[in-house]
């Protein structure tokens, strides 16, 4: 029983066997029924005129009275020719007036009135076979022959001849015992057995693919993640196999991504710990110094200590703000408020804001744009300002004294392209592949000891919200360029 519950092949085989048995039973029933119908039809067609011929023989004995002895004598002669008949004389209302079944007595009749509808259909030439009521049975019907006859001046009477008579009950038995029926039964049994065996082999072959698929899935479940079905057909089972392979590839890719994310999380913890520990240690140290030596500190030293504390506090606040912004962008909790924005004007304003910082570090910061206004874009001005600010700040931090940072806004086909280029040390190929990884810092980006490597991740998310992609080109010892393109505002 467990094998039947757990084996798909066994279930299919059991259902197929049940269908074969039902088909065999149905075929046998149809065969026997068709044989009986064929015999009835043939027997009735062959004896169609039998009642008419008998009516001619009996009519002289029925004019004034029913001469039963003369009729029986004549019947004995006729039954010598065709013994398998029972003869009934019926009135116009179907009442049996007399009957001549051989070796039967009056008490064997089960009905005295016969339904005349099939008799009239027979006389009107209806399609054979037709079955009429058998007076010796309460519900049985048999093939018959009938002819109109006159009985004692009463017209509309019938000579009703039941074909087969007493011997009709043996028709089914004779069919069953016939050589043809026995051969048919044997042939049917052999055919069913052969079909069943071929079906089992075919089902075994078909379900082998399902077994292979099940074994592959089980192996994958046990940790053999490289196992694949790789089906060779495009049928439903092949499509299921392809779906599993794609699902397995997706799961494997997700696992790799999770490992990568976990690695980045560790890097985040390390980076955040480093970036938090240094300013916090500095703040704590200066506060302890002020607390312990407050009475002996000069005004100049006290101001220096407070400026350092404020600077480190500002750095901590920016780090926390960056983490909060990135978490909101990751959660898609930011809905941009799109409006027409002139990128040329926005970049000019931001460049003016950063010029003092650039000048103090000996860096040239310039804004370039087409003489003809490149057009407005549809953007969230607050988010776009944040993105460009991060890119300019990143460029200034990674550009040495005497270098140059260029913010360029130009028409690029049907788009407006913004690029921020610097003449810094550039980014190596191995670092360039991870520059947009969350919380990742290259040695170059940390060269001046600020930030937690979150700025570019935030910029990338903002640009993605605007339906674009942040790209980067870099050459070591020559510089780096970040750029993205936005669709122009239709107005």
Residue 190 lies in a domain: no
Backbone CA torsion sign across 207, 208, 212, 214: positive
Are 364 and 414 members of one domain? yes
Work out whether strand 364-369 and strand 404-412 pair parallel, antiparallel, or are unpaired: parallel
Residue 99 has a pLDDT of 87
Backbone CA torsion sign across 383, 385, 387, 393: negative
Residue 97 lies in a domain: yes
| Whole-number Å distance between alpha carbons of 72 and 66 | 11
Bridge partners of 421, per DSSP, are 406, 481
Residue 445 lies in a domain: yes
Torsion of CA 429, 435, 439, 442, to 10 degrees: 50
Residue 196 lies in a domain: no
What CATH number is given to the structural domain containing 408? 3.30.565.10
Are 358 and 456 members of one domain? yes
What CATH number is given to the structural domain containing 250? 1.10.287.130
Are 260 and 343 members of one domain? no
Query: Which of 269, 299, 330 is the endpoint of a domain?
Result: 330
Residue 37 lies in a domain: no
Fill in the DSSP letter of residue 115: -
Query: Which of 330, 359, 391 is the endpoint of a domain?
Result: 330
Are 241 and 324 members of one domain? yes
Number of structural domains, the chain?
3
Backbone dihedral region for residue 467 (phi beyond 0: left; psi -120 to 50: alpha; all else: beta)? left
Are 147 and 266 members of one domain? no
| Whole-number Å distance between alpha carbons of 131 and 44 | 9
What's the token pair of residue 254? 């997700």
Are 382 and 461 members of one domain? yes
Query: Which of 160, 176, 192 is the endpoint of a domain?
Result: 176
Residue 263 lies in a domain: yes
Are 345 and 479 members of one domain? yes
Residue 194 has a pLDDT of 85
Residue 312 has a pLDDT of 85
Read off the pTM.
Answer: 0.47
Are 114 and 145 members of one domain? yes
Q: pLDDT truncated to tens, each residue of the chain (491 aa)?
A: 555 455 666 777 777 788 888 887 887 788 777 777 777 788 788 888 888 988 888 888 888 788 888 888 887 776 655 556 888 999 999 999 888 875 544 457 888 899 999 999 999 989 888 999 988 888 888 899 999 999 888 889 999 998 865 444 555 455 555 666 677 778 778 888 888 888 778 777 777 777 788 888 888 888 888 888 888 777 777 888 888 888 988 988 888 888 877 776 777 677 667 667 777 888 888 888 888 887 788 888 888 888 888 988 888 887 777 777 777 776 666 778 888 988 888 999 999 999 999 999 999 999 988 766 667 888 988 889 989 999 999 899 989 999 999 999 988 888 899 999 999 988 888 887 777 765 555 554 434 444 556 778 888 888 998 889 999 999 988 899 999 999 887 76
Are 244 and 348 members of one domain? no
Are 367 and 318 members of one domain? no
Taking 3-state DSSP, the helix, strand and coil percentages for the chain, each rounded to the nearest 5, stand at 55, 15, 25
Are 465 and 361 members of one domain? yes
| Whole-number Å distance between alpha carbons of 424 and 399 | 4
Residue 382 lies in a domain: yes
Are 325 and 347 members of one domain? no
Give residue 402's domain range: 339-486
What CATH number is given to the structural domain containing 131? 3.30.450
Residue 476 lies in a domain: yes
């Amino acid at each position: 029983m467990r094998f039947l519950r757990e084996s798909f092949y066994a279930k299919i085989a059991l259902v197929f066997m049940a269908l074969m048995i039902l088909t065999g039973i149905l075929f046998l029933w149809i065969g026997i029924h068709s044989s009986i119908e064929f015999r009835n039809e043939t027997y009735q067609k062959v004896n169609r005129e039998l009642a008419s011929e008998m009516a001619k023989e009996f009519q002289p004995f029925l004019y004034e009275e029913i001469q039963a002895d003369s009729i029986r004598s004549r019947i004995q002669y006729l039954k010598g020719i065709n013994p398998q008949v029972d003869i009934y004389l019926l009135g116009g209302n179907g009442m049996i007036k007399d009957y001549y079944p051989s070796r039967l007595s009056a008490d064997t009749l089960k009905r005295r009135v016969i339904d005349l509808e099939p008799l009239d259909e027979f006389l009107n030439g209806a399609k054979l076979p037709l079955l009429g009521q058998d007076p010796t049975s309460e519900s049985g019907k048999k093939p018959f022959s009938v002819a109109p006859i006159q009985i004692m001046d009463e017209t509309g009477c019938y000579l009703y001849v039941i074909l087969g008579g007493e011997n009709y009950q043996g028709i089914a038995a004779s069919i069953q015992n016939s050589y043809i029926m026995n051969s048919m039964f044997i042939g049917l049994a052999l055919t069913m057995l052969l079909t069943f065996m071929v079906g089992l082999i075919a089902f075994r072959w078909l379900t082998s693919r399902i077994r292979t698929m099940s074994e592959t899935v089980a192996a994958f479940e046990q940790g053999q993640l490289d196992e694949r079905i790789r089906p060779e057909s495009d049928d439903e089972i092949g499509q299921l196999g392809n779906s599993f392979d794609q699902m397995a590839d997706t799961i494997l890719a997700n696992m790799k991504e999770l490992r990568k994310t976990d690695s980045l999380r560790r890097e985040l913890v390390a980076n955040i710990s480093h970036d938090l520990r240094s300013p916090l240690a500095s703040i704590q140290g200066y506060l302890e110094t002020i607390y312990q030596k407050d009475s002996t500190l000069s005004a100049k030293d006290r101001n220096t200590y407070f400026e350092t504390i404020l600077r480190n506090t500002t750095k901590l606040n920016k780090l926390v703000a960056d983490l909060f912004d990135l978490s909101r962008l990751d959660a898609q909790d930011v809905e941009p408020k799109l409006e027409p924005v002139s990128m040329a004007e926005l970049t000019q304003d931001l460049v003016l804001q950063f010029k003092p910082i650039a000048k103090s570090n000996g860096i040239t910061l310039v804004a370039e744009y087409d003489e003809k206004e490149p057009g407005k874009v549809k953007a969230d001005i607050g988010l776009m300002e944040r993105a460009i600010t991060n890119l300019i700040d990143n460029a200034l931090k990674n550009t040495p004294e005497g270098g140059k940072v260029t913010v360029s806004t130009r028409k690029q086909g049907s788009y407006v392209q913004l690029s921020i280029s610097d003449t810094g040390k550039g980014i190596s190929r191995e670092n360039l592949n991870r520059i947009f990884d969350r919380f990742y810092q290259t040695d170059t980006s940390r060269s001046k000891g600020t930030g937690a490597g979150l700025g570019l991740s935030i910029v990338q998310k903002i640009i993605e919200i605007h339906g674009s992609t942040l790209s980067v080109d870099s050459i070591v010892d020559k510089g780096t360029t970040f750029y993205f393109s936005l669709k122009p505002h239709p107005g």
